[in-house]
Structure 1
């Protein structure tokens, strides 16, 4: 008996990374009008952002159907293995619901569906926490119990390069867009409990970096023992200055850099910087 890990594509592991970790990835779809792509399979992050910049309308995303999970669940049931599914926040997508429907069809109690309440580099923190618990000898039920508590502490902070995509997606009025752009305001967003909220506004890039750390400190600060991930949208070069700043402030604890995919990227656009942490 072993534990099988299944995640959806919005965790933003590459296919190679997922294979090396032993994770099965179930892709979401990205739709530009009538053009349909499997996230991370038919369209990679860099190509997505290039297409996003040239698109007049925002693309949409589509959750996997229950059928996308069925074969994996049936294989696990036949093998007598446990399954831990760590999936995109249910407030952002119906992916968790599709997996729950598939579990009901298969009728196998040893499938555990975890609503990560996160996406992208935040989900990766939670997945790697699961692997650490497995190495400690924890069984599937114990791992899931710990994740259900740990996920409440995971937060992604994002600094957006432009207000355009927030305005296109209806999260910012045209008036707010005009004022924000005129004042060179950069929004600091926070993803926690499955919601994307504005944690603050700052003038200029360095002001946004300081605002991010103030927002994090207000929530209790980073749990240094758990480490942190960095992320970016678009081209990796946009992260360089932010990465130096974060590493200077946080010192040790850096784990990895993640190319943020389409689900968060569709709302923030290219050029965003991100930091994912476990809060105290």
Structure 2
């Protein structure tokens, strides 16, 4: 029996069903839409979220309350010797630092991992933590391993619209207007902590080629080689499932032999970039001894 519990938040994209099957606790991220509070995957589905976004309602993200975190930690520590908590990257939210502050009251039994990830790359870390726990590693050892591994991944995201970046104040109205006029498709990169501009494409096809080439170069130059044994290649998207299926097929064609896992981008990212985004990720596989 495992002595260490694994806890994460809904930014990992781990569904309630997958969490239950693997014995993982997933804390739902809170959102405020209009005048109401919602919890991801509790009373707010992906479909409902994007319908509200299309209606032009104001969306703001928050972080789990200290009470919810403490209730979860206390419950797990009745069953396990210790636990590892993997929240979203500290570069994207204050929830990681808030959890670290709470963990100070648990005498080392709660270890909070800041491994700089979100979405499918964060999911990989959670599943790695589970494998490490099953191999006998304790929470402190798992935290150290995952934080050392933090930067061994990249995400590239092509946006369909600049509207939500403009609305959130992340680009100026003039830049958004020019980009829309020129029909530019911005490509963002998440390598480590924050979303940064990476490239601009004139067409969707060009944008896809840019992302696939970036993944290839990262694997070969930074992550030790492009092979099934060495790296995972995964995909994510916002809202448009038909476009996502087509994108997954294109990734599979570009990287034959790789099993491509695909999931929706977490709502914490989706609210800033809007529907129609396509993403691809590469992550160095963690070797569990």
Query: Structure 1, residues 200-259: CA drift from partner, whole Å, max 9, x if none?
Result: 111111100111133334545465323122111113112122112111111223242112
Q: Secondary structure at the match of 1:155?
A: strand
TM-score (norm: length of structure 1): 0.91
* Equivalent in the alignment of 2:156: 157
* Equivalent in the alignment of 1:14: 15
* 1:20 positional shift: 1.1
Q: Secondary structure at the match of 2:246?
A: helix
* Equivalent in the alignment of 1:227: 232
* 1:136 positional shift: 4.4
Residues 229 and 255 in structure 1, CA contact (< 8 A), matched pair in contact too = yes
Query: Structure 1, residues 126-150: CA drift from partner, whole Å, max 9, x if none?
Result: 1122233345444433332221122
> Aligned partners of 2:16, 2:77: CA distance in 1, in Å?
24
* Equivalent in the alignment of 1:95: 95
2:233 is the counterpart of 1:237: no
Unaligned 5+ residue runs, structure 2?
Answer: none
Q: Secondary structure at the match of 2:151?
A: helix
Q: Secondary structure at the match of 1:240?
A: helix
Q: CA-atom RMSD, angstroms?
A: 2.0
> Aligned partners of 1:161, 1:146: CA distance in 2, in Å?
36
Equivalences for residues 25-104 of structure 1 within 5 A? 25-57=26-58, 59-104=59-104
Equivalences for residues 207-218 of structure 1 within 5 A? 207-218=206-217
Q: How many residues align?
A: 278
Q: Against the structure 1 CA distance between its residues 261 and 167, is the aligned structure 2 distance closer, same or farther, given a 3 Å change threshold?
A: same
Q: Secondary structure at the match of 1:274?
A: strand
TM-score (norm: length of structure 2): 0.88
Unaligned 5+ residue runs, structure 1?
Answer: none
Q: Secondary structure at the match of 2:239?
A: coil
> Aligned partners of 1:98, 1:167: CA distance in 2, in Å?
28
Equivalences for residues 135-150 of structure 1 within 5 A? 135-150=134-149
